[in-house]
Amino acid sequence: MSTLSLQESARKKADIRGRWLRSAPALVLVTLGAAAPLLVVFIYSFLSPGDYGDVKFELSGQGWFGVLFEVDFLDGTVSFAQTNLDVLVRSIKLALLTTLICAIVGFPTAFFIATRKRQVRSVWLFLITIPFWTNMLIRTFAIQDLLRTEGIVNFQLLRFGIIDQPIQFLYTDTAVLLGMLYVFLPLMVLPLYSSLEKFDFRLVEAAYDLYASRWAMLTKVIMPLAAPGLIAGSVLVFIPAVSNYIVPQLLGGGKNMMIGNLIDLQFGQGRNWPLGSALAVSLVAIVSVVLVVVMRRAKGAEVSHG
């Protein structure tokens, strides 16, 4: 090997070592802040439940058994854990609906902002980001006040004679859905705006010159090029929505739990940490599978569109 090749190889190795060293602080933070707690939860899922809401360091499969099955306290019969399945299905259904509606509402919102003058865009983006200035708990309380029986929504409906008696919005799946839409909509708008801001609108003019209809221009030109922002926004909305705890707790009540509330119940009143840990690990696994599938589809779409 020539001296020049050796020098080039040494330079590449030094560059790689430099990148690892610069990334070391971030890697340490990610490991300590995310990987280590998840590892603890994973280990807890294989231990035995303690007598006072903790764990015994004895290997057991009770936690994972409780994810799929439940034992009757009276006769000891084993049956399928239908409650866990219902809660998981509700969580996924509401998260998907939240993501879909956020996309339907967020796309025209982002398109509107991206087509304004640059000075006006800043104002609209400022208005979109204002909700992030307030804690999610406070925002959820605000939605609760709007939807309660004596709230503003029912008051206005009664005032204009649209209804004869207050509608029970709170403690329903609809209330949970509305709350999550309000909380997570900005997470869809901002990535979509980031994609549409870079969009070359001369392509729209070219599509019109080729006699493309508005629908064809939207679906064949704009949507494919905005797909990265749409996919990023969908991931940012779906992941926190499926595991959300605050919104279902305040707007859904005890009978409209989501998986986050069920996990909290096992760590709290249920005093069954292994089962709560197994449910948490199961949720992480489901979300990871969804994320991998979405990323692969996104990569395939990016390749197909150049």
**At the topology level of CATH, where does 83-304 sit?**
MetI-like fold (1.10.3720)
Q: Cα dist. 306→27, 201, 224, 266 in Å?
A: 32, 18, 10, 48
Residue 89 half-sphere exposure toward CB, CA atoms < 13 A: 6
**Helix, strand, coil share of the chain (percent; to 5):** 75, 5, 20
Parse the chain into domains and list their residue ranges. 83-304
Task: Please determine, for residue 14, whether its predicted confidence score (pLDDT) is greater than 90.
Answer: no
- Tracing tokens 């992480």 back to the chain, one arrives at 284
Burial class (CB in 10 A: 0-12, 13-18, 19+), 3: exposed
Q: What is the C-alpha to C-alpha distance for residues 222 and 203, in angstroms, rounded to an integer?
A: 9
Q: What is the C-alpha to C-alpha distance for residues 111 and 104, in angstroms, rounded to an integer?
A: 12
Task: Please determine, for residue 205, whether its predicted confidence score (pLDDT) is greater than 60.
Answer: yes
| 48 in Cβ contact with 55 (< 8 Å) | yes
Number of Cβ within a 10 Å radius of residue 199: 17
| 191 in Cβ contact with 227 (< 8 Å) | no
Give residue-wise pLDDT tens across range 167-187: 888 888 889 999 999 999 999
Q: What is the C-alpha to C-alpha distance for residues 256 and 269, in angstroms, rounded to an integer?
A: 17
Q: Look at residue 100 and give its three-state secondary structure.
A: helix
Nearest partner of 244 among 283, 270, 189, 275, judged by Cα: 283
pLDDT-derived band at 2, boundaries 50, 70, 90: low
Give residue-wise pLDDT tens across range 206-229: 887 777 788 888 888 888 888 889
Give residue-wise pLDDT tens across range 259-304: 999 999 898 888 889 999 999 999 999 888 888 887 777 666 555 5
pLDDT-derived band at 242, boundaries 50, 70, 90: very high
